[in-house]
Amino acid sequence: MEKRYFGTDGIRGRVGTHPINVEFILKLGWAAGRVLGQGSGAAHGCASVAGGRTPGATKVLIGKDTRISGYMFESALQAGLSAAGVDVCLTGPMPTPAIAYLTRTLHAQAGIVISASHNPYYDNGIKFFSAQGTKLPDDIEHAIEAEIEQPMQTVNSSLLGKAERVEDAAGRYIEFCKSTIPAVMEFKGMKIVVDCAHGATYHVAPDVFDEMGADVIRIGVQPNGLNINTECGATHPATLQKAVLEHKADLGIALDGDGDRLIMVDHTGEIVDGDELLYIIACSRQESGNPPSVVVGTLMSNLGLEQALKKIGIDLKRAAVGDRYVLEMLQQGGWVLGGESSGHIICLDRTSTGDGIVAALQVLAAMNTSGRTLHELKKGMTKYPQRMINVKLARSFDLAKSKDVQDAVQDAQVQLNGKGRVLLRPSGTEPLVRVMVEGADAHQVDALVKHLADVVTHALN
């Protein structure tokens, strides 16, 4: 059954526009509290929140990134959850993967993150985590959506939820991140630039690497509510490239606004993207005697990654685009390593979700163990030229029903002659069609992607 509000990464949109407005977020908090409270009531042997419950039986953790609307939506969610009889733990600005971790360790029934990830400040969104620190199952999201349609009713005053602040949230998460690599490992003598995108990792990520002994240059650590992801972070790595070269650093680490995405820069100023990072981590696992049999990528993962992994005896499986689908395939197959070209890296042998800081630590550990630079480690993989153009959508559009678009795709595939790929897909988070072409010849790839984008644009109009 199709969901009305939940997308591939929670609920997201423009602040002030339904559903990202105060009225809806209040109702969402209440609806989530009703559903989660009923589940908790069953688990604890007490009645659901509709008919009374044991105070404190249900606890939900709320974190947020640094965008200004987070204050407003944090209050709305808290009010809705309290009205449903659910207790709330507030962390303030914390990375999305930190909320996944803290939800588990604080034994909450769910975690909620107020964030639009890599989007600009004027967008926001709501993400949920289960008690196990994973994305909510579809049936729970469906149940929440169904509850939203019901009239809002407040529990008796004696059963209203309470709220408290988790004062040591940052410290708990920093220690967890450090625990994902060997305790004896340190990064003394290494100069690292860390770009936090003026986002949720600003008070966490630099301290992790500093405490590991590195000389840390901090950028993107002055959030003002409006500058999150603005010309910085994982979506704008040029800022990091410049800083790495200026400081003559060994490498740079760029995170996005909520800290679940990682892009790195080597000492020469070259970008190391999610595909290359996956390859480096996979090789490191293999060299340590614990090789993954399968790495899960997506439809967007570079052919070069697939070929490089094949050379070392590792298969690449492709999931639909979105870290949610990578995670689902990992869990179904019993595998531990996967990710996206955009920098969502999931190490299930370390944590339960994509985590930019944890992924960066795995790469630094690979450098430390091998004695090689980041530039040297990525050389085992040669990327195919891959180009993507985003075509904005003003209305819903079925690409499969456009003869012009399908004819253009078939023609491009003939020209690539089996040495490349064509992919057209709607974005799961923005009103866009992503047009991607990949092949051995960069000039041919450029020409084909521009032509296909023009055909899609013409078909839309």
pLDDT in tens, 371-393: 999 999 999 999 999 999 999 88
**Do 300 and 363 fall within a single domain?**
yes
**Residue range of the domain that includes 397:** 386-460
Q: What is the C-alpha to C-alpha distance for residues 267 and 247, in angstroms, rounded to an integer?
A: 10
Q: What is the C-alpha to C-alpha distance for residues 259 and 177, in angstroms, rounded to an integer?
A: 12
Residue 207 has pLDDT above 60, yes or no: yes
Q: How many CB atoms lie within 10 A of CB 30?
A: 29
Q: Cα 222 to the chain's mean position, in Å? A: 21
Residue 355 has pLDDT above 90, yes or no: yes
Q: Which helix (H) or strand (E) holds 460?
A: helix 442-460
Confidence of residue 48 (pLDDT cuts 50, 70, 90): very low
Does 1 reside within a domain?
no
Does 2 reside within a domain?
no
Average pLDDT, the chain: 93
**Do 208 and 155 fall within a single domain?**
no
Does 354 reside within a domain?
yes
Residue 326 has pLDDT above 70, yes or no: yes
Assigned token pair, 234 = 């994982």
- Closest among 95, 15, 88, 6 to 55, alpha carbons compared: 88
Q: What is the C-alpha to C-alpha distance for residues 50 and 40, in angstroms, rounded to an integer?
A: 12
**Do 284 and 208 fall within a single domain?**
yes
**Do 244 and 219 fall within a single domain?**
yes
The pLDDT score that the predictor gives to residue 348 is 97
Does 86 reside within a domain?
yes
User: Could you report the per-residue pLDDT of 92-124, keeping only the tens digit for each?
Assistant: 999 999 999 999 999 999 999 999 999 999 999
Residue 42 has pLDDT above 50, yes or no: no
Does 6 reside within a domain?
no
Q: In sequence order, which residues have a C-beta less than 8 Å from that of residue 99 and are 6 or more positions away?
A: 61, 63, 91, 111, 112, 113, 129
Q: Quick check: is 117 catalytic?
A: yes
The pLDDT score that the predictor gives to residue 459 is 86
**Do 305 and 376 fall within a single domain?**
yes
Active-site residue (options: 40, 48, 115, 117): 117
pTM of the model as a whole: 0.90
Query: Angle, nearest 10°, between helix axes 96-105 and 169-178?
Result: 100
Please state the rounded mean pLDDT for residues 173-193.
97
